[in-house]
Amino acid sequence: MKVLVIGTGYVGLNTGVVLGFLGHDVTCMDLNKEKIELLRSGKSPIYEPNLDKMLELAYGNLTFTSDYDEADIPNTDVIFIAVGTPSNPDGSANLEYVQQAAEEVGKRLNDRFTVVVNKSTVPIGSGNWVETIVRDAYIEKHGQRPIHHYAIASNPEFLRQGSALYDSFYPDRIVVGASDSQAIDVLTNLYRPILNQDFNYPDCLPRPEGFTAVPLVTCDLASAEMIKYAANSFLALKISYINEIAHLAEKVGADINQIARGIGLDSRIGPRFLNAGIGWGGSCFGKDTAALVATAHEYNLSMPIIEAARDVNYHLREEFVTRVQNSLKILKGKTVTVLGLAFKPNTDDLRDAPSIDIIQKLLARGAKVRAHDPVAVPNMKSQYPELSIEYFDDPNKAVIDSDAILLVTEWPVYKKMDWKTILKDGKVKLIDGRNFFS
Ligand code: UDX
């Protein structure tokens, strides 16, 4: 099928590469020319395990452009809108880029039936809104109403950064929301190799044993949009729940790891997303919980459980710094080494990363901050130039003569450090924000 993906961020680029690998003819479009140049030269503009390799494998089926006219919209079967939807100050999503993409698409649609898919995480109801924008742009260009020339669908993405390609090839489910049955058929055909798991998998991402088929959930637009928010909010509150339990466990002398195992083995609860620590960060949980609460407010509803999950989560960062302070007594002038800056391992993404809040609070209390991260240091330097941090390439050097070492992101490399030597004279405090060390 002929596919266009608008936006080459995490979601768009992964979608394009995976569909290209599966044999579809994919154009990846982004207004950012630098990104497109990099992609044309075969390089990924984002850090994601296996992405460079997959880009190479799918390269023959991929075209990159930053020009809508070059994107051949009139001959395209499926158009994914996967542009950014940053948060507005009130927590609602900024849909400026979605609107722009929908207008550009609407102007160029022609007689061929095209499915326009909202892949960006958009507020509930955006599918209908995009439909209106596409239709108005179409009418303006053609001077007449479109007659079944296109349909809008919602196909939310559940991939996790750091394992985005694995999640795309081997998802727990694919959700497609649309009121038009032909749109659902088109997307079912598009995803058939994944649904049936009959594609030849790439060596770098072998199919897990026993993984034979993927459930397809088809529903209306609003339900598909809400599935995404409800799933992320549930995962976010699961993490906040275990962190709340962890607080009490610490007071009564119980072990949160044993508790998580003990409750996670109940199949109604499940073992995943029960790692206690300094809580969630990243591009989705904070944004999506805020957006759900903001949507509820528009309907005069409150969402006390989700709001509580947010409060618990963001308070953890302050509590972590208090733990450091209690341990060192005085922070002023003390050297504190932060291990890990990215919001989680295997990504260089700093969006809503706990490290940022923690470092800001440490600096405000007069600590000297050193930091190491295997991949996120360049982003930290460019995005937070005002933070006075001494960066190290080698974590073993970063910890020399530190008063405290803070494990903020659980990169595997930190397990391999020579902890016996580092901790031998008992002077340095190791404060583990991720329950990473035994
Ligand atoms: C999340 C969702 O998992 C994914 O389905 C959605 O499409 C996008 O948002 P992502 O943000 O990439 O993915 O990372 P995820 O692995 O879910 O972790 C989110 C945050 O929660 C990280 O900061 C992580 O450190 C934290 N976390 C996760 C915990 O604190 N404890 C856990 O048990 C699991």
Mutate to test the pocket of ligand 1, among 158, 280, 312, 351 (most ligand atoms within 8 A of CB): 280
Nearest atom (ligand 1) to Cα of 275: 33
Interhelix angle 221-252/285-298, nearest 10 degrees: 120
Query: For residue 69, what pLDDT is reported?
Result: 95
Provide the 3-class DSSP secondary structure of residue 305: helix
Closest CA to 409 of 362, 356, 368, 367: 356
The pLDDT score that the predictor gives to residue 91 is 72
Does residue 112 register a pLDDT over 80? Answer: yes
Ligand 1 residue neighbourhood (C-beta within 6 Å): 157-161, 232, 235, 239, 273-275, 277, 279-282, 284-285, 343-344
- Using one digit for the tens of pLDDT, what is the confidence trace for 302-321? 999 999 999 999 999 999 99
pLDDT band at residue 147 using 50, 70 and 90 as cut-offs: confident
Sequence-ordered alpha helix ranges (H) in 266-351: 285-298, 304-328
Question: Atom of ligand 1 at shortest distance to CA of 159?
Answer: 7
Q: Name the residue with tokens 């997307």.
A: 187
Catalytic residue status for 284: yes
How many other C-beta atoms can be found within 10 angstroms of the C-beta atom of residue 99? 16
Number of C-alpha atoms within 13 angstroms, CB side, residue 320?
32
Cβ atoms of 218 and 176 within 8 Å: the answer is yes
Contact, 353 vs 377, CB < 8 A?
no
Q: Could you tell me the distance, in angstroms and rounded to a whole number, from the CA of residue 280 to the centre of ligand 1?
A: 6
Q: Please tell me the distance between residue 233's alpha carbon and the centre of ligand 1 in angstroms.
A: 11
Q: Which amino acid, residue 298?
A: E
* Long-range contacts (CB closer than 8 Å, 24 or more residues apart) made by 83-89: 83/6, 83/7, 83/9, 83/12, 83/120, 84/7, 84/9, 84/120, 85/120, 85/121, 85/122, 87/287, 87/290, 87/291
Cα distances (Å, whole numbers) of residue 219 to 80, 168, 192, 222, 286:
18, 20, 17, 8, 26
pLDDT, position 144: 87
The band of 425, judged by pLDDT with boundaries at 50, 70 and 90, is confident
Q: How far is the CA of 282 from the centre of ligand 1 (A)?
A: 7
Which ligand 1 atom sits nearest the alpha carbon of residue 162? Answer: 12
C-alpha of residue 279 to centroid of ligand 1, in Å: 9
Please give the Cα distance from 78 to 184 (Å, whole number). 11
Q: Residues 409, 434: contact at Cβ < 8 Å? A: yes
Atom of ligand 1 nearest to the CA of 163: 12
The reply to whether the predicted model has a pTM over 0.85 is yes
Taking CA atoms only, the protein residue closest to ligand 1 atom 1 is: 160
Q: pLDDT tens digits for 366-408? A: 999 999 999 999 999 999 999 999 999 999 999 999 999 999 9
**How many angstroms is it from 281 CA to the middle of ligand 1?**
7
